[in-house]
Every structure is written in C-alpha cells, then in structure tokens.
Amino acid sequence: MKSLEELIRLNKLIRIIGFDDAPFEKERGSPVKVAGIIYSNTRFEGMLWGEVAKDGMEATQVLAELLKSSKFYNQINAVLIDGIALGGFNIIDLPMLAKVLNRPCIAVMRKPPDMAAIDIALKNFPDYASRKEILLKAGEVHTLKGFHFQAYGCSPFIAAQVLEQITDNGNVPEALRLAHMIGAAIITGQSGKRA
C-alpha cells in the first residue's frame, strides 16, 4: 500500500474512514453507537456501525476490530476520529490504534481542546491516571491549514494535506460530517444542526 506522502505527491485518491459517535444517554456505561464512514476524497463509499460504552475504556479495541474485520480494511489509507474520545471519555489510544491497524490515525477537532477543563473532568474517574496517560500519548494538538488535530503515523504536515484533500468546505472532513449526521438521524430520527 502506498504511503500518504506518496498518494499526495502523485495526486491520487485517498481512501479514509471517519468515526464519530451518535447521540447517547448520560448514564455511565450506557451504549453509544458509532458510525464509521468510508470516503475516497469527498465521495461516500461505505459505512460501518459499532458500539462502545459511555465513559468506557474499550474504544480503541472496538474501532480496531470493527475496521480490521470489515471488507474495507485493505482499502483504507488513513483513519479519522472526531476528537480523541467516543461516548464521553472513552479515550482512544491513538498510537495503539495506528499500530494495530498499521495506518496513520488522525483525531480531528472543531476547535483546540481546553486541556485544563478535560483534566478536571477526568479527575471524576477512579482510573484518572491511566485515562490521562492515554490522552497524553495522542501528542500535541496541531493547527495547520485551518484544521485542529492530533496525528500518529504520519507527520502533521502530511495529516493537514490529507485533511485538506478530503474536506469539501469548512474544517470538518466529509467522512466525519456524514458520520455525525447519520448517527444523529438513526438515534433521534433526524440529522442535527451542527455537523
């Protein structure tokens, strides 16, 4: 499989999957549905549907198994996640996900996170230290080409170029936008205002 750098240099299609959680109940441990949307640049090509627990610790494993067991795995060049956690504080181990999937993984945010507020919230968990460690492993939040993200498995510059190539307009890649809209529509009956 060609690297992201090579795909960009040759101006080839980049096939990605974007994961986002659907609306969920506030109760810790409640089920949280997750949509995984496959796109080639800005063209929809497929979908995966999974589940994690709110504030659980299994999101990394669930995403890895969901993608690896699918027919799409061998076609995917990079993995995107809407933020670094699913279902509240089910934090994704970005380096581990990249290693298990053998693909660059990019956590995309609409705005830079308030790390102090996140740290205060994490102190409500008895396993604060391990959650904090997983969060820190994701590395620096970069702001390039109008995107805010953490990347593992490729350079921040390459990640920004990928995000630019797979985004139609604004600063939310199409796969993440559609994952958000589909998740909301399935759970609430209609897509939300903000995608």
Per-residue pLDDT 10s for the chain (195 aa) are 889 999 999 999 999 999 999 999 999 999 999 999 999 988 999 999 999 999 999 999 999 999 999 999 999 999 999 999 999 999 999 999 999 999 999 999 999 999 999 999 999 999 999 999 999 999 999 999 999 999 999 999 999 999 999 999 888 999 999 999 999 999 999 987 665
Residue 17 pairs in a beta bridge with 38, 79
- What is the reported pLDDT for 195? 55
Q: Compute the C-alpha angle 174/175/178, nearest 5°.
A: 80
- To which H or E segment does residue 68 belong? helix 59-68
Instruction: Tell me which DSSP letter residue 75 carries.
Output: G
Report the relative pairing of strands 105-109 and 78-82 from DSSP bridges. Answer: parallel
The domain locations on the chain are 4-188
pTM: 0.95
Q: What is the DSSP string of 4-66?
A: HHHHHHTT---EEEEEEEPP--SSTT-EEEEEEEEEETTEEEEEEEEEEETT-S-HHHHHHHH
Instruction: Give domain 4-188's CATH number out of 3.30.2170.10, 3.40.50.180, 1.10.287.3510, 3.30.1130.10.
Output: 3.30.2170.10
Residue 142, both tokens: 């970069």
Tell me what pLDDT residue 193 has: 65
pLDDT of residue 2: 87
Q: Quote the CA–CA distance of 36 and 30 in Å, as a whole number.
A: 19
Torsion sign over Cα 154, 160, 164, 170? positive
Q: What are 32's strand-pairing partners?
A: 52
SS3 (DSSP) at 82: strand
| CA–CA separation, 37 and 56 (whole Å) | 22
Name the phi and psi angles at 11, rounded to 5.
55, 45
Residue 107 near residue 150, CB atoms below 8 Å: yes
